[in-house]
Amino acid sequence: MPELPEIETTRRAVEPLVAGRTIESVDVRHPGVIAHPDATTFAERLTGRTVLGINRRGKYLVACLDDGSHVTMHMRMTGCLVAAPTGYPEDRHTHVVLHMDDGTEMRFSDMRRFGRFWLFGPDEEDDSGIGRLGPEPDDPSLDAGYLEERIGGSHRAIKECLLDQTVVAGIGNIYSDEILFETGIDPARPANSLTHEEFGRLAHAIPELLGYFTETNLVTPDEHLAGKGRDYRNTPFLRVYGHAGKPCPRCGETMVRSVVGGRGSVRCPRCQR
């Protein structure tokens, strides 16, 4: 499932190829992907519009258009966005194609069809959920005081709190495990059991690790297209996620898998007591 580093990688790969381009036509092959408005209106309103750029907010991408409207996109579990020249082989699960005036196609594919597109005019409220997101990981307001005030009274496991997009935007199952390993905190610990110092460690590790994994994941637009938007480069740098049964990179203890809040979690039983 793509998280902030993967979504930022997609943005950096796709935006240079579509920014400044005018949408000549829109092909919606699976109308259920369009959450707002209906698929026909979506295609009609986008045709003739120029893409000014693509921004990211948490795990969302937002394409800004020349008339003040915008397209909000969420990849969900298996969605992928690529920019390809006309005639380049398509993924068989391609559901939306925006045809640009220079022959570039912005394509959205999704094997499970959970991803969604919303189109909002300049005077429409964006009800995609993006407005409920917490601060970005690199927001200066995300400090120990913020975390302690926001979740310090919660009985939920700290991992559940990190996965809550209204607390911090962009963290998913992969990077929550990495952050908690870095800080030496057990994923299952109730948030209200953390000390101020531990909240400080989290506030430091969240932007540091997400920034690090974003940079290790950088690919060129051509590499992104060749990998169908799914060839992430940071997997070799993950220290705990997916490493259950392997020795801890710090102490050598065998790492264990458990379920926290319905999500699989990996931790070191010695480093994360």
Among 56, 59, 107, 267, the active-site one is: 59
* Nearest-angstrom CA–CA distance, 13 and 225: 8
- CB atoms under 10 Å from CB of 155, counted, come to 9
Among 3, 8, 15, 105, the active-site one is: 3
Among 76, 189, 263, 270, the active-site one is: 263
Q: Which tokens is 94 given?
A: 């391609």
**Cis peptide bond prior to 135, omega within 30° of 0:** no
* Nearest-angstrom CA–CA distance, 251 and 254: 9
Is 124 one of the catalytic residues? no
* Nearest-angstrom CA–CA distance, 108 and 230: 12
Is 263 one of the catalytic residues? yes
Is 116 one of the catalytic residues? no
Is 2 one of the catalytic residues? yes
Catalytic residues: 2-3, 59, 263
